[in-house]
Structure 1
Amino acid sequence: MSSHPSFFRGKTLLIVGTETPIKRFIFQKLHKLGLQLIVLNAEKNWAAPYVHDWILGDMSQHERQITQVLAYHKTHKIDGIYNFWENDVILTSKLAEALNLVGVPVAVAKIVRNKFAFRQFCLDHGIAAPKFLKLNTDADVARAAKELTFPVVVKPVWGGGSILVVKANNPAELRETFEYVRKTATPALDSQFYDGVDIMVEEYIDGDEVDIDMIVQNGRIKYAAVADNYGTAEPFFLETTHAMPSSLPDEDQKALQRMASEVVEHLGLQFATLHFEAKITKSGPVPLECNVRMGGDEIYISSREVYGFDLIENGVKVALGAYVPTQYDLVPKKQVMTEALHAKQSGVLTSVRVDEAQQKALPVEQFYFGKEIGEAVLIPPDGYDYLGYITVSGDNFSDAQENLKLALKTIQYDVAPFDGSSTLGKTSRTSRFASASLRRSRVAVSAKIERIRHMSIKDQRKLHIGIACNSFDVGGGAVEQELASVGRNIQTELEARGYTTTYVDFNNLSQAIRTLQTSGIDLVFNVCERIHESSLLEPHAAAILDAMKLPYTGSNPLTLGLCIDKIRVKKLLSYHSIPTPRWDYIYELSDEIRDDLRYPLIVKPANTDNSIGIDNDSVVEDKDELREQLKRVVVGLNRPALIEEYIEGDEYDVSILGTDADDFEVLPLSRTIFTKLPEGYWHIYPFEVKFSESKVYKDNLIIQKPPQKVSRKLLSLISEIALDTYNILDAHDYGRVEVKVDRQGNPFVLELNPNPSINRGDCVPTVFELQGKNYGDFLEKILSLTINRYKGKDPFYHLQTSTL
């Protein structure tokens, strides 16, 4: 059925509206035909590679758009007009009449776009229709409950794509559904409601649902094919499975085609691409809708593969005035089936895994996944998103059905549900440098007491600040030197800003306690990571401060102790469905390890910090290497071992400030790219990266602050998962979450550092400074967050566990 490209080449076609990238295949086809595409749309977008010229403007302002197009037509001849989107059907008809081009009359377009008018039209012309009424008021609802037989279907008069089409089984449901549709049917939900927001109700039609796709030229049906729609998901009538050719008996299919032909004749349609939706009932066929544009998504590929008929090519021929031969006695070449992909709950898409190799081995005709990781997915009643679809073929119905089952197994995705305490889907970022903050409109629903204002900087600087830290003898290692310098640098900076400070060395515990008791300290800046030179006692420093009723910065003893134990952290994150690498652990070499972990694996000491015990040999590729590393950790270091699947990809550091939704702030992210490392070096952060001058790592690690050329959706998802991790582990004031992103863009949380190092040049203060501030501003920000956390609360309020 393919036409000669020479017919199309050089002709100018006006496309009204682009919709979303799900329609890319239409533009690709039109471009391949050699047409010059002029697009009327609100803005330039993804279709730009296929577009010769744009006419831009508000698509709801029809008269203004007509004026623009007529002005364009004076200097750039337009040969035809084409539309494939329900929302712009009426505008397309108006433009066709204004330009004197082939198209659907405006009067007809208004009838078929308006569901109430179409029902009335059918009634007036003796075409089967259920009982129906308009719903404008509560009185109309009461009347409908008395006059109609339940179940009924409530729908927006100007709706399309099953949006806000809802089944009601009794009068109570009818009232609830009317209120829901009345409040929801606005242009903010979908631009189709610029045409109107009227509501109607009709009796539910029981029967098999079908599509009838047609081409009409000179008033004659040139092509008509029936396809089955299986089991729309009620009560919201979401599409599920589509199959062409139909499995209905021939007499039912002929009856459906006769009904559609009758509708076309009564409408007086001369030229159109049509997509009917109908049901075949015990009493015969009943039309549901008549859409004067090509059916969506899978319809084109199904028609082309089953009957060899190209709906786009022939639809454009009609629009350009070229003859389309009539297709008689269609014989299917194969069976084609399509499955729509839906989420089971509203939430955020957190991972997508597609087995492309397996898809290539199957007769997959088309696969489209329209959501990216990090995007919100809203299902009714929250919204009407769907993820995409997959189309397969087979020699017959059973063959295609089996192929569809296999094809669906190649697609796996996870949608993390929204809940009252989760931060997923609630952050926004105006630029890569801007902090992410919780959208007030989303968190306002939770019962929160208004926070007391921060103490002024002037008053804050009157505080006596203790610096809880660690000193070491001269000649200590790199870790000890780092721990010693952070306290001194904080003290120097705060004193320069007018604070009185006292240095408190927790490696001399008895002296530290005496200093805290006698020096008049108001608040402690807690950067202590050792007591008696042991990191396992880090939480006890905070516990001592609590026992002495001294407020302090950072997390409480429970969080600090929990985060030292990587095994308990993994268990808790897994319980809350936070994505982490698949894992296991042992305390003794005799402990069994799950056998479904995939190599390579990484072996870590389960209760050390600062990457102690992690080097390039920590990543293992077989059982022998695994056994050797486990022995090194369990026996050599005398630590339990955490075993994780190794994630190949970039690592992100997510620096977070605050304690709860009122003051959370995700700072610009830091990204480490490992691809320049020489062969043989695993993409990890070993001990030598952090505390040695290793030239290999120093010269080859690429660190971006903030990340460059990374989608905002991925950055938002990483931020949101990190915020949930921060919440779950109940971090306070500041922290840093480490996230690894694999090659498919799936993020995995590695760990939370609840009181990370905040020395000059460290990650958290550095990304804070990207916002045009400095190190002293950062330290004062931490102090103000701490003051705000304590004000108006019971003395030990912060020791309560998170509400998440």
Structure 2
Amino acid sequence: MTGRWFALVESNTTGTGRDFAVAAARHGLRPVLLTRDPGRYDYVGELGLPIREVDTGDPAAVEAVCRRLDPVGVTSSSEYFVQTAAAVAGRLGLPAPDPAAIGRCRNKAEQRRWLAAAGVPVPAFVACHTAADAADAAAKLDGPVVVKPVYGSGSLGVRLCADPDEAFEWAARVLSGGQPAPGRPAPGPQLLVEREVTGPEFSVEIIDGRPVGVTGKYLGPPPYFVEIGHDYPAPVPAATTAALAAVAVEAVRAVGHVVGPAHVELRLPDGGVPTIIEINPRLAGGLIPRLVRQATGRDLIDEVVTGAAGLPAAQPAPGGRSASIRFLLPGREGLLAGVTGLEQARELTGVIEAQCRLEPGAQVRIEHSFVDRKGHVIASGPDPAAAAAAADRALARIRLVFADGPTAPAGLSLPV
């Protein structure tokens, strides 16, 4: 690689992190990973990716490294470093989203306040400092509530609580570090308590303030919110797609995040209006960009990389199909003896990928977050129903064999 440097500030450990580096190289750039711990990323060795070890928690240190590199662009695929990347890019005079708008999105309490002030539909909410505050908020909201960290991603530390006692117990656990809830410590409220919004969940994928499309999302059993599958495009009427997209665009405009990617999650209550669950100031996780590429030919990762580098995006390949993903989530804990059915799954019509990261001898734990996703199957088809059916058939072929008991399905059943 002989082109100019393209700086990636940390990365997803799963999902699209590798794809960012590949996209940059495809455009003749020299991707370089700025990281505190290169060992976290398996793909670094695979790609021969240059690295610069730096305290990525220190924006000034990141900026100093970038000034020495003189990159053509700076970005991140990680929820936790998009604001740092945007701030550094802006100070170097490179294309970037507004770091202040990213900060408003990352702080879920601040995000809620901005959206509510703009009249965007959001759940009733209370920002809390302590477990006692969370219990009081649950009593005030009078019904099942969702308790979540103000900072966080991937459903870490998020739980549905039936009453004030449950809200107190969960909040105390999160605040004590008993439940993973990564995110930078900051003054102010640490928890958000909000009234539960029922109904199917969707996400709207957005680039530069304009909707790309709507994804149908499936969640595992309550009281947690682990995403177990996605369909793109969402199998809903055109009017529903338009309504979801309109509210999502209104939301990103309300917080000022109109440059770069956004992944806006919503719920659609029965007979109600689309309600914002949260704005994520980054591309979707859960391999949704791959679904979009399979279904439409549009490469969102390429668009983010070229946007950050000030280059024209590649033209979309032919599309007009649908794509679905189903995640491998062990239904139990234990010592894994092996995985069966992957090859059979790959041979099914419509299946594009079938992967499992678990190896024999792994001790399987359940965390009730995205880290429980140990692999996936992706399938495509001429319409959403065909793609979803192919993905479901593939997942049903895969079994986890435990050393201390019978085999178990490699995925959770989707809601009917």
> Do these two structures clear the TM 0.5 threshold for a shared fold by scoring above it?
yes
Q: How do 1:214-293 residues align onto structure 2 when only pairs under 5 Å count? A: 214-216=206-208, 221=210, 223-281=211-269, 282-293=271-282
> Which position in structure 1 is the counterpart of 2:308?
319
Counterpart residue identity of residue 192, structure 1: G
Counterpart residue identity of residue 319, structure 1: A
Q: CA deviation at 1:236?
A: 1.1
Distance 1:314 1:26 in 2: 10
Counterpart residue identity of residue 56, structure 1: E
Q: How do 1:778-797 residues align onto structure 2 when only pairs under 5 Å count? A: none
> Which position in structure 1 is the counterpart of 2:118?
125
Q: CA deviation at 1:381?
A: 5.7
1:390 to 357, 377, 380: 377
Q: How do 1:104-119 residues align onto structure 2 when only pairs under 5 Å count? A: 104-119=97-112
Distance 1:289 1:138 in 2: 22
Distance 1:326 1:131 in 2: 42
Q: CA deviation at 1:357?
A: 5.2
1:41 to 18, 35, 38: 35
> What does the per-residue CA deviation read over 1:482-530, in whole Å, with 9 as the maximum and x for residues that have no partner?
xxxxxxxxxxxxxxxxxxxxxxxxxxxxxxxxxxxxxxxxxxxxxxxxx
Distance 1:298 1:101 in 2: 27
Q: CA deviation at 1:290?
A: 1.3
> Which position in structure 1 is the counterpart of 2:58?
61
Q: Would the alpha carbon gap of residues 26 and 348 (structure 1) be closer, same or farther in structure 2, given more than 3 Å must change?
A: farther
Tell me if structure 2 keeps the 8 A contact 1:367–1:391: yes
Tell me if structure 2 keeps the 8 A contact 1:102–1:320: yes
Q: CA deviation at 1:353?
A: 2.3
Tell me if structure 1 keeps the 8 A contact 2:322–2:381: yes
1:176 aligns with 2:169: yes
2:334 to 347, 351, 373: 347
Give SS of 2:113's match: helix
Counterpart residue identity of residue 43, structure 1: D
> Which position in structure 1 is the counterpart of 2:350?
363
Distance 2:75 2:354 in 1: 25
Q: How do 1:89-488 residues align onto structure 2 when only pairs under 5 Å count? A: 89-184=82-177, 189=180, 191-193=182-184, 198-216=190-208, 221=210, 223-281=211-269, 282-323=271-312, 333-356=320-343, 358-380=345-367, 384-415=371-402
Q: How do 1:508-587 residues align onto structure 2 when only pairs under 5 Å count? A: 576-577=404-405
Distance 1:25 1:226 in 2: 22
Distance 1:319 1:379 in 2: 37
Q: Would the alpha carbon gap of residues 193 and 414 (structure 1) be closer, same or farther in structure 2, given more than 3 Å must change?
A: farther
Tell me if structure 2 keeps the 8 A contact 1:164–1:185: no
Identity of aligned residues (%): 25
> What does the per-residue CA deviation read over 1:200-237, in whole Å, with 9 as the maximum and x for residues that have no partner?
11000112210111111xxx52x520010124432110
Give runs of ≥4 in structure 1 deviating > 6 Å: none
Counterpart residue identity of residue 27, structure 1: A
> What does the per-residue CA deviation read over 1:62-89, in whole Å, with 9 as the maximum and x for residues that have no partner?
333333333x2xxx32001221111212
Q: How do 1:664-679 residues align onto structure 2 when only pairs under 5 Å count? A: none
What TM-score, normalized by structure 1, do the two folds share? 0.47
Distance 1:383 1:397 in 2: 24
Give SS of 1:367's match: strand
> What does the per-residue CA deviation read over 1:668-687, in whole Å, with 9 as the maximum and x for residues that have no partner?
xxxxxxxxxxxxxxxxxxxx
Distance 1:578 1:306 in 2: 37
Distance 1:157 1:65 in 2: 25
Tell me if structure 2 keeps the 8 A contact 1:334–1:394: yes
Give SS of 1:240's match: strand
Q: CA deviation at 1:361?
A: 4.0
Tell me if structure 1 keeps the 8 A contact 2:135–2:165: no
Distance 1:89 1:195 in 2: 17
Distance 2:218 2:182 in 1: 28
Counterpart residue identity of residue 205, structure 1: V
1:28 to 18, 22, 25: 22
Counterpart residue identity of residue 70, structure 2: K
Counterpart residue identity of residue 90, structure 1: Q
> What does the per-residue CA deviation read over 1:74-108, in whole Å, with 9 as the maximum and x for residues that have no partner?
xx320012211112122212212222211122211
Tell me if structure 2 keeps the 8 A contact 1:215–1:273: yes
Counterpart residue identity of residue 69, structure 1: C
Q: CA deviation at 1:135?
A: 2.3
Tell me if structure 2 keeps the 8 A contact 1:337–1:401: yes
Distance 1:279 1:156 in 2: 19
> What does the per-residue CA deviation read over 1:250-308, in whole Å, with 9 as the maximum and x for residues that have no partner?
12211111112212323333420111111122331111121121111421211111111
Give SS of 2:192's match: strand
Q: CA deviation at 1:174?
A: 1.5
Distance 1:18 1:149 in 2: 40
> Which position in structure 2 is the counterpart of 1:19?
12
> What does the per-residue CA deviation read over 1:726-774, in whole Å, with 9 as the maximum and x for residues that have no partner?
xxxxxxxxxxxxxxxxxxxxxxxxxxxxxxxxxxxxxxxxxxxxxxxxx
Q: Would the alpha carbon gap of residues 348 and 27 (structure 1) be closer, same or farther in structure 2, given more than 3 Å must change?
A: farther
Distance 1:344 1:396 in 2: 29
Tell me if structure 2 keeps the 8 A contact 1:90–1:110: yes
Q: Which has the larger radius of gyration?
A: 1
Distance 1:24 1:325 in 2: 18
Tell me if structure 2 keeps the 8 A contact 1:151–1:168: yes
Tell me if structure 1 keeps the 8 A contact 2:4–2:29: yes
Distance 1:50 1:194 in 2: 33
Counterpart residue identity of residue 62, structure 2: Q
Distance 1:347 1:383 in 2: 18
Tell me if structure 1 keeps the 8 A contact 2:345–2:398: no
Distance 1:245 1:255 in 2: 14
Distance 2:301 2:314 in 1: 15
Distance 1:21 1:145 in 2: 34
Alignment gaps of 5+ in structure 1: 1-7, 417-575, 580-804
Counterpart residue identity of residue 399, structure 1: A
Give SS of 1:287's match: strand
Give SS of 1:179's match: helix
> What does the per-residue CA deviation read over 1:427-452, in whole Å, with 9 as the maximum and x for residues that have no partner?
xxxxxxxxxxxxxxxxxxxxxxxxxx
Distance 2:106 2:359 in 1: 32
> What does the per-residue CA deviation read over 1:157-210, in whole Å, with 9 as the maximum and x for residues that have no partner?
001111111001122221221122222368xx4653456881111000112210
Give SS of 1:262's match: helix
Give SS of 1:309's match: coil
Q: Would the alpha carbon gap of residues 52 and 159 (structure 1) be closer, same or farther in structure 2, given more than 3 Å must change?
A: closer
Tell me if structure 1 keeps the 8 A contact 2:32–2:52: yes
Tell me if structure 1 keeps the 8 A contact 2:292–2:298: yes
Q: Would the alpha carbon gap of residues 373 and 25 (structure 1) be closer, same or farther in structure 2, given more than 3 Å must change?
A: farther
